[in-house]
Amino acid sequence: MKRKIKAALLLGALLGVGLNPPLLAATGKKESEQTAKKGTTGKKSQVAAKPAVKSAAKPATTKKFAAAPAPAPAPAAKPSKSVKAPATRAGKSAQVSSEAVKKPVRRVSMADIDPSRLALYSSSALVIDQSTGQAVLEKHPDTVVPIASISKLMTAMVVLDAKLDLQEVIAIGEDDVDGLKGTRSRLPVGTTMTRETAMLLALMSSENRAAHSLGRHYPGGMPAFVQAMNRKAQALGMVNSRFEEPTGLSSNNVSTAHDLARMVTAAARYPEIRAFSTTAEARVELNGRPTDFHNTNALVRSDNWEIGVSKTGYISEAGRCLVMQARVADKPVVIVLLDSVGKMTRVGDANRIKRWMESASLVSERRPA
């Protein structure tokens, strides 16, 4: 019995020894799995902690991470955009403000193209840009009116077209005395002079006796001369013009601003007319006595004007008249002013037109291309 008990105990011991390693292994495996899980959890916590450590460590990084700040300009660029935007707005506002400064100037100069804004005192006015042939300014340009001594430009053209000897001596006769208006003259009856001198005095000083004498000494006399004047007018397209005599003393010498612009343009092609009509003053020997004559247009003596052709005119029916070919605001122009009220208003109108054209030219130059 004792032997059986001992054998059972021995068998149990043997079995106990054989089962312990697996149990221990299982237990170790569980423990290792738990440890692994714990280790994994620890690693996860460490990984999660690393960015915090790294982000905290970045500012204190050494040269190894010197490139890390490179992305920093990207965030810094955002403020720069916000800085640029106000600058752009400021530029736009500056541009707008500069335009706001220009606009009033442009409005003033463009509004002045209305003759009423220019305060022109001439009943008819016309400015033609000869480079384009376009009218720059118009005020009743087609009204037919008496033109007074503006007629003398046609007188000079007819004489020159006939190619008469300018050095031929002609005389002032009784027929040259003004019996229509009773105007005075510094050329007494019997005064002799060359045809050239007579033309100079007719254009520069508007001497009526000199102009009448030019017509009277034309081949065929005065009737042929008047016919030649009207033929010339028709040839120039002056369809609303008519001439009755060479001085302009007759109110039947009529034209329009448009027609006279054509006449002035044609007259500017004659060197003699250009020279004589713009001569400021001349000393002429008449009957052995030197006599000084002056231009009836004060503007030819002004340094502010560059005038190629000039002629004034006056009778009561025509009022004060002035025509010119000139260079204004660096442009060749023809200016026609008819029936101006007042002795100096035609000159004032011419100066107002000149200032307006010059100011308009400055505004256009300031405009961006």
Domain ranges of the chain: 123-343
Question: Could you give the CA distance from residue 20 to residue 358 in angstroms, rounded to a whole number?
Answer: 120
By the 10 Å C-beta count (0-12 exposed, 13-18 middle, 19+ buried), 261 is classed as: buried
Give per-residue pLDDT as tens, 98-133. Answer: 444 444 433 434 444 554 577 899 999 999 999 999
Q: Record the pTM.
A: 0.69
- 358-366: average pLDDT: 64
- pLDDT score for 158: 98
- pLDDT score for 228: 98
Question: Could you give the CA distance from residue 22 to residue 333 in angstroms, rounded to a whole number?
Answer: 124
At which residue do the structure tokens 């009509």 appear?
Answer: 277
pLDDT at 77 over 70: no
- pLDDT score for 45: 38
- Structure-model confidence comparison of residues 101 and 142, the more confident one: 142
> Tokens representing 36?
């692994």
Instruction: Fill in the amino acid letter for 248.
Output: G
Residues labelled as active-site residues: 149, 152, 206
Please answer whether residues 256 and 143 qualify as being in contact, where contact means their C-beta atoms are separated by less than 8 angstroms: yes
Give per-residue pLDDT as tens, 158-214. Answer: 999 999 999 999 999 999 999 999 999 999 999 999 999 999 999 999 999 999 999
Please answer whether residues 59 and 66 qualify as being in contact, where contact means their C-beta atoms are separated by less than 8 angstroms: no
Please answer whether residues 146 and 140 qualify as being in contact, where contact means their C-beta atoms are separated by less than 8 angstroms: no
CATH code for the part of the protein at 123-343 = 3.40.710.10
| Residues found in the chain | 369
pLDDT at 363 over 90: no
- pLDDT score for 341: 85
Question: Could you give the CA distance from residue 43 to residue 29 in angstroms, rounded to a whole number?
Answer: 20
Alpha carbons within 13 angstroms on the beta-carbon side of residue 316 total 4
